[in-house]
Amino acid sequence: MSLLYFLEYNSLFIYLCLAFAIALVFVIISYLFAGQVGGTEKLSTYECGFEPFEDARNTFDIKFYIIAILFIIFDIEVAYLFPWSVMFNFTSSLGFWVMIDFLVELVIGYIYVWKKGSLDLD
């Protein structure tokens, strides 16, 4: 390999070394000057400004996690719909029908989840 090939990456190497050095300096300075004392208030569980009811390590019902996952899945559709709607005038009929197929599958999935009762918190 030629020396010119490695010279092109010198500025990137210097940038990474400088960034690492600055980050290391900030961590060391904050460790030295920040207070390391943990009090009861600092170590207590935070519950929106009031005293916690129980231990924070209690298990949650699995439905909360299922609702969160379903929210993420159905929320991702916006990530596909927004660019498609912006470029709608420039898409072909194939692009239109592919998105219609996507929306139909999404509605079928929503109906399935609704019929299974996964959206109920009872």
Average pLDDT over residues 41-62: 67
Q: How confident is the model at residue 122 (pLDDT cuts 50, 70, 90)?
A: low
Q: Examine the pLDDT at 31 and tell me if it is beyond 70.
A: yes
pLDDT for residue 5: 74
DSSP letter string, 48-65: TTB--SS-TTPPPPHHHH
The reply to whether the predicted model has a pTM over 0.85 is no
Q: Distance (Å, rounded) from C-alpha 25 to C-alpha 10?
A: 22
Q: What is the pLDDT of residues 53-88, one digit of tens each?
A: 666 677 767 777 778 888 888 788 778 888 888 888
Q: Where are the domains of the chain?
A: 3-43, 62-116
Gap between the Cα atoms of 9 and 5, Å rounded: 8
The CA–CA distances, whole Å, from 97 to 8, 92, 115 equal 47, 9, 27
